[in-house]
Amino acid sequence: MVVRGITVQVFEGQVEAFKAATIRNRAGSIGEPGILRFDILQNSDEPTLFFLYEVYVSEKATLAHKETDHYKTWKTAVESMMSAPRKGMAYTVIDPVDEDEW
Amino acid sequence: MVVRGITVQVFEGQVEAFKAATIRNRAGSIGEPGILRFDILQNSDEPTLFFLYEVYVSEKATLAHKETDHYKTWKTAVESMMSAPRKGMAYTVIDPVDEDEW
């Protein structure tokens, strides 16, 4: 498994629109065979700051995700909502190592 | 649900010791009734940087975790392994909202 943590800062007036667009992206994403989790989180102290926790079965699956319609639609939709470029972090899984636990 | 993201930077020589101590903490943590997930991740670009993704059923459960022996043992064990104070981030769950999906 590989995990991607994506931090997104949005404009104050775009919080609800960003949530809606990202929930739609998640709905498509969890149907992908290579995606194990796709959690949408909002920073509790800073409501314009979001964190997407995406768990893939492989690096290849991360690339396949970028080719999907739901991802491309999301990317275009949120472009003007972000107040700064989004930041992606790549993580290696230490534990749990069993795919069934994801 | 509430999510805590904990970022921990450790000294270069302490990477394996930190992994071992944290895996032990996780083994105890996932047995707690209030903990839904406890993922241990290592930054793929910076191996001394770790991220713990902890999902709780409630704020109360986050406090109960801090009272457990496995947490206290971990906290003491890793104190000297960290090269900077650890940083905790509190997140509100946007999606999935169903506890069964965690």
Helix/strand/coil for B77: helix
- A9 inside 8 A of chain B by CB: no
Q: Which residue of B has its CA nearest to A41?
A: B93
Angle ∠(B23,B28,B31) on CA atoms, nearest 5 = 125
- Give yes or no for A53 touching B (CB within 8 A): yes
CA trace torsion A27, B42, B3, A20 (10° rounding): -30
Alpha helices in chain B (DSSP H): 15-29, 59-66, 69-78
Measured between alpha carbons, how far is A10 from A101 in angstroms, rounded to an integer? 32
Q: Closest to B53 (Cβ–Cβ): which among A50, A53, A92?
A: A53
Number of domains in chain A: 1
Q: Is the CB of B84 inside 8 Å of chain A's CB atoms? A: no
Residues B26, B37 contacting (CB under 8 angstroms): no
Distance from CA of B92 to the nearest CA of A (A): 5
Per the prediction, chain B carries an average pLDDT of: 97
Which range marks the domain in which residue A34 is found? Answer: 2-101
Per the domain annotation, does B90 fall within a domain?
no
pLDDT band at B74 (very low <50, low <70, confident <90, very high): very high
pLDDT (average), residues B27-45: 97
- Which pair of tokens denotes residue A85? 């470029």
To the nearest whole Å, the CA of A97 is away from the closest chain B CA by: 10
Instruction: Please tell me the pTM assigned to this model.
Output: 0.96
**Confidence band (pLDDT; 50, 70, 90) for B29?**
very high
Across the strands, what pairs with A7? A51, A87
For residue B86, the model assigns a pLDDT of 95
* B23: in domain: yes
Domain presence at residue B26? yes
Q: What pLDDT is attached to residue B78?
A: 98
**Omega of the bond leading into A33 within 30 degrees of 0 (cis):** no
Encode burial over A14-31: b for 16+ CB neighbours within 10 A, e otherwise.
bbeebbebbeebbebbee
CB spacing of B19 vs A94 below 8 angstroms:
yes
- One-letter amino acid identity for B39? D
Q: How far is C-alpha A30 from the geometric centre of its chain's CA atoms?
A: 11
Reported ipTM: 0.95
Q: CATH number, domain at B74?
A: 3.30.70.100
| Closest of B46, B55, B61 to residue B90, by C-alpha | B55
Is residue B27 very low, low, confident or very high in pLDDT (cuts 50, 70, 90)? very high
Does the residue B100 lie in any domain?
no
Residue B91 belongs to a domain: no
B45 in a domain, yes or no? yes
Q: pLDDT band at B61, cuts 50/70/90?
A: very high
Q: How far apart are CA A58 and CA B1, in angstroms?
A: 27
B58 part of a folded domain: yes
Q: Does A51 touch chain B (CB under 8 A)?
A: yes
Residue B57: inside a domain:
yes
> Per residue of chain A (102 residues), what is the pLDDT tens digit?
999 999 999 999 999 999 999 999 999 999 999 999 999 999 999 999 999 999 999 999 999 999 999 999 999 999 999 999 999 999 999 999 999 999
